[in-house]
Structure 1
Amino acid sequence: MEFQNVVNNRHSVRDFSDQVVDHQTIKEIIALAQKSPSWVNSQPWKVYVATGKTLQNIKDAYVKKDAEKGYPDFPVMHRDDWSAETQKNMQQWRHEIVHHFENFDEAHEKMSSASTHLYNSPAIVFVTIPKNSSLWSVFDAGAFCQTLMLAAKDKGLDSIPTYTSVRFPDVIRQNMDIPDNETLVIGLSLGYAKDVTINTYRSKREDIDDITKFKD
């Protein structure tokens, strides 16, 4: 696929089909993501792939804990404390999501159900970095994850990175044998999108002139 098409066609999918993603394809995607840059080639990331019975165990545990407040390894800041610019984008997103469905109740039910059931993902790639990492390793992990999602799209797979997937890190550690000296950064759901309304939404982006400044 042409690079521009890969970038333009990648979007967050919130309801995956039951079609299995084979391990070899995932390994090939991870191998491409390994080309990502990192501080002094530190390559701080580790990758844990949950599929099949293991992933189902995680999903079942998350459903049981859904009413609990999450406690991810990275602290979560209340949305009211974000900058005015980012709050504006988040509010626009929420407004557009609601109007993408017939009504607010339908939008709330679909989004909540998708989150609770981890988007029916057939595979989730959990990415960690060492707990004694430099803060710059977060940037490295982000570059790795973005490359992984683009590589997935190039192979016809859809994806979504989610806070939801890592909000109960003890569940993930127990099921994936992740050691305590690693910080659970994010979970990337991989799979094939269902042909449903929730997957047709595309979020808007700020105008390039509003985010870019040239100074010669």
Structure 2
Amino acid sequence: MKVEEAITQRHSTRAFTDQKISEDQIRKIISLAQLAPSWVNSQPAHVYAATGTTLELIRQRQANAVRTGAASKTEVPTVSRSSFPKEKQDNMAKWYASIPDAIGSEWQKYNNDAALKLYNAQLILYLTLPKNHAEWSMFDLGLFADNILLAAKEQGLDSMTAYYLVMYPQILRETLPISKNERIIVGIALGYKQDDATINGITSEREPVDDVLTVVK
């Protein structure tokens, strides 16, 4: 698979099959992710790969937390959508408006049901950074994460990054050996896409290139 194919074919997948992912696949994906650029070679990222019984425990505990209305708070602060510039809010609104046309009026129920099951992912990668990390480290982690998405796609795997995956950091800390000196940044769900799942019909458009590119000669 060419890089362009991996980029254009990758999209957020919200329903995966039960097919397992081998440890060899995990190691290959992370080894490729490690080739991302890193400020002064600091290589700040650490990855906790949850699969098997450990992932099922996280899935069950988080579902219980959601059902009981437990408050959630990620370790990376979120901001209100209303705080974004108007043109970015317009992007969000356009996307939300397109979903019912794609998968029907009950899309929110489909989405909530899928999220409650952590999208039936067979592997979730939790990415951390050292606490008090340099601001550049967040950029490094973004590059590292994108390499994960593309390397996974090259292996026939699809992916989902979501707030939902890290909304209960205490559950993750009680289940995974995450050091108190690390900060949980993002989760990436991986698996084989369930082709007949309605929820996987959600897609999004990107702004015209001319809206994001300024060429100065």
Say which SS state the counterpart of residue 29 (structure 1) adopts: helix
Which consecutive residues of structure 1, in runs of 5 or more, have no partner in the other structure? none
Conservation of the 8 A alpha-carbon contact between 2:103 and 2:202: no
Say which SS state the counterpart of residue 48 (structure 1) adopts: strand
Q: Which residue of 1 aligns with 2:70?
A: 68
Residue by residue, what CA displacement relative to the aligned partner does 1:145-201 show, whole Å, maximum 9, x if unpaired?
Answer: 001110000010000111111111011111111011101010100100001222133
Any residues of structure 2 matched to 1:21-170 within 5 Å, and which?
21-66=21-66, 67-103=69-105, 106-170=106-170
Q: Distance in 2 between matches of 1:96 and 1:114?
A: 19
Q: Which residue of 1 aligns with 2:181?
A: 181
Residue by residue, what CA displacement relative to the aligned partner does 1:74-111 show, whole Å, maximum 9, x if unpaired?
Answer: 111111112212211111111112221222xx101001
RMSD of aligned alpha carbons: 1.0
**In the superposition, relative to structure 1, how do residues 85 and 69 fare at CA in structure 2: closer, same or farther (>3 Å)?**
farther
Which consecutive residues of structure 2, in runs of 5 or more, have no partner in the other structure? none
Aligned-pair distance for 1:69? 2.9
Q: Which residue of 2 aligns with 1:202?
A: 203
Q: Which residue of 2 aligns with 1:7?
A: 7
- Greater shift after overlay, 110-119 or 32-41? 110-119
Do residues 212 (structure 1) and 209 (structure 2) align? Answer: no
Alignment identity in percent? Answer: 38
- Greater shift after overlay, 84-93 or 142-151? 84-93
What amino acid is aligned across from residue 91 of structure 1 in structure 2?
A
Say which SS state the counterpart of residue 65 (structure 1) adopts: helix
- Which consecutive segments of 4 or more residues in structure 1 shift more than 2 A? none
What amino acid is aligned across from residue 198 of structure 1 in structure 2?
I
What amino acid is aligned across from residue 205 of structure 2 in structure 1?
K
What amino acid is aligned across from residue 71 of structure 2 in structure 1?
K
Aligned-pair distance for 1:57? 0.6
Say which SS state the counterpart of residue 109 (structure 2) adopts: helix
Q: Distance in 2 between matches of 1:110 and 1:146?
A: 26
Conservation of the 8 A alpha-carbon contact between 2:13 and 2:158: yes
Q: What is the number of residues matched between the two proteins?
A: 214
Aligned-pair distance for 1:20? 0.4
Q: Distance in 2 between matches of 1:184 and 1:23?
A: 22
Q: Distance in 2 between matches of 1:102 and 1:143?
A: 34
> When the two structures are superposed, what TM-score results if normalisation uses the length of structure 2?
0.96
> When the two structures are superposed, what TM-score results if normalisation uses the length of structure 1?
0.96
Say which SS state the counterpart of residue 213 (structure 1) adopts: coil
Q: Distance in 1 between matches of 2:3 and 2:142?
A: 19
Do residues 172 (structure 1) and 148 (structure 2) align? Answer: no
Q: Distance in 1 between matches of 2:137 and 2:152?
A: 22
